[in-house]
Structures are given as structure tokens and as C-alpha cells.
A = this chain, B = another copy of it.
Amino acid sequence: MKEYCFGIDVGGTTVKMGLFKTDGQLVDKWEIPTRTEDGGKAILPDIAAYALAKLVEKNISRDEVAGIGIGVPGPINADGVVPHTANLGWGYKEVTKELSELTGVICRGGNDANVAALGEMWKGAAAGHKNGVMVTLGTGVGGGIIIDGQIIVGVNGAGGEIGHIHVDDTIPGLCGCGNQGCLEQVASANGIVRLARWMRETDPKETVLEPESMTAKDIWDAVKDGDAFACGVAERFGKYMGTALANIASTVDPEVFVIGGGMSKAGPVVLDYIKKYYVKYTYKACRDAEFVLATLGNDAGIFGSAKLVL
């Protein structure tokens, strides 16, 4: 009887690991450092060693393990192969095949933003739904699309690359992806600061914000205090996000949008500004989609990775 599984979330500095019951109960979680030196060659052996050690510690036999799911920061195809992952040091790597050989257990892989979405759909903010879209507003803007409980991976692993939806020709500068006018340029934690500085050039309203040193948190705090300039920034952010999510709705028509990442800690006010424009621009049939804040935080990745093997 296979009662257990592992969910692994590989980041650039730490690997988060979780041991789960197959019903989704988290038995134990821990972190290990991500050793990126020498082309990241120790990463998978480290994961295997700590997973097998945990089984010994808990007196669980390998035959009781249904599988190991692993989320990685970059594209990974349906066969568990990553072409290249800059921030782990990996070149071409057959991730799930190698990890399976190291552990003797079936492995499946996914992109980190996609597995976080799957985690929130399984045990987080959108539990009980089978069709949802998660947007992660962190350093960048990530995303994951879940339809009928399955991740939309995409032919090039670019399914759910919501941050690179084109929203405005006039945004100054280039996105990290090389394009100009991406959602990420104005809606990530860095992006909303960039947006505020750009708007400041032509909007002289009095404000508590210091253009040089302000953070995304400062902007949302000022919004909550009714600062007129900050509220203008939030409106523009809401319009970009609301339009992008409305257009996603006209494509995949989900039940629920989950908003996560560092910026979601500003709370329901973030949803309010997004929903205002979502409702304006979305196709009529999609107007009642739910908007919720993510609840699993940094654990979304281990939950979603575990779900990959169930």
C-alpha cells in the first residue's frame, strides 16, 4: 500500500522538501541548501539522500512511497527534461529519470510556478476547484493554468507565462525576456515600483512616497492610507492585471484566480483593484470568476509537486 509521497521544490538557494500522506496530509517538511557549484551536479543526489534518510527516520519502506514530485525554476517538458536552468547551474538534464534512478521511486517534474498553482488548487486557496489560474506577484510575475486538475504545460514549457503577456506599448525599458510592454514590467513587486516612478514623471500629486527608495509595500501602505498618487498607481496596476486576466478568461474560462507571491501580502486591497478592471473588460459569461489570495505561501511548491505523482 503506497501511503506516502514526496514533494520537492528546488530554488536557487534552498531546496524545500516535504513528506506527505497521499491524502495530502503534510507529515514533515525541511530545507537543504541548493549546491549550484560544479554545474549543480550535487543537487539531485542531495535530494535523493535526504529523501531516503527521511524514510529511515520515519521507519517507512520505499515500497510505501507512491512517488517523488519535483518543481524546478525553469521550463521542464513532459518527459522531465530541462534544456537549461541558469540559476541551478544545470545544462541539459534528465531530472526525473536521474532522480528516479537515485531513489528507486517514480518521479515527475514541473515548473515551479505551475506546481505552486497546482498546490493552491489542491490544498490551498482554491481547494475544491479543478479549473483555476494562479498568478504569483513576486520579484517577477509567474503563473500557472490548471484545467481539469492538470497543469497546462505548453509545447515549449511556456504555459502560464502570464508575466509576459503584452499589456502596453508605452512602458519604458525592456522586460527581462527581451520584449517591451510585458505585464511583469508593471505588476511584479519591482514592476509596481517602476510603474510608480514612471507615473511620477507626469503626476505631481502630493504623496508620502519617496520615488528613490519606495518599495511595493510602501505603495500598498500608502494606498490603504488614501494617498492620492499611490491610489492612482494601484488603479493603473489594476487595469493592467485586470485586462490580462480578463483575456486569460476569454481563453480558458477558469472558475477561480489565485493571487500569490510577496505582493499579495498587502491583502484584499490588491484583489479589489484587479477585480474592478477584470469585471469591466472580461467576457460577460466570465464575470463571476472568484478572486482569492493564496494561502500556502512558500509551501505551495511542495504541495503541488507532491500532487504531480498522485
**A residues in contact (CB < 8 Å) with B:** 75, 131, 145, 147, 152-162, 164-166, 177-179, 181, 243-244, 246-255, 280-281, 283-286, 289
Contacts and interface: CB of A to CB of B under 8 A. Distances in A.
Contacts of A159: 251-253
Given A165-B247, A166-B281, A246-B166, A253 B154 contact: yes
A285 B253 contact: no
A159 B250 CA distance: 6
B152 A252 contact: yes
What 8 pairs across the A-B complex have the smallest Cβ distances? A154-B253, A156-B285, A164-B283, A158-B253, A158-B285, A166-B281, A159-B253, A161-B250
Given A75-B285, A159-B253, 20 more contacts: A131-B154, A152-B252, A153-B253, A154-B252, A154-B253, A155-B254, A155-B255, A156-B286, A158-B250, A158-B253, A161-B250, A161-B253, A161-B285, A162-B251, A165-B250, A179-B284, A244-B247, A248-B251, A251-B251, A252-B252
Q: Which of A179, A252, A289 has the most CB of B within 10 A?
A: A252
Nearest to A283: B164
A246 B246 CA distance: 15
Stoichiometry (number of copies): 2
A152 B162 contact: no
A150 to B, nearest CB: 8
Contacts of A251: 145, 152, 159-162, 165, 248, 251-252
Contact of A147 (B147, B181, B285, B286): B147
A283 B158 contact: yes
B157 A253 contact: yes
Contacts of A154: 131, 252-254, 286
Nearest to A131: B155
19 contacts: A145-B252, A152-B252, A152-B253, A154-B253, A154-B286, A156-B286, A158-B286, A161-B285, A162-B251, A164-B283, A166-B247, A166-B281, A179-B281, A179-B283, A181-B281, A244-B247, A248-B251, A251-B251, A251-B252
Contacts of A153: 253
A34 to B, nearest CB: 24
Contact of A283 (B145, B177, B181, B281): B177
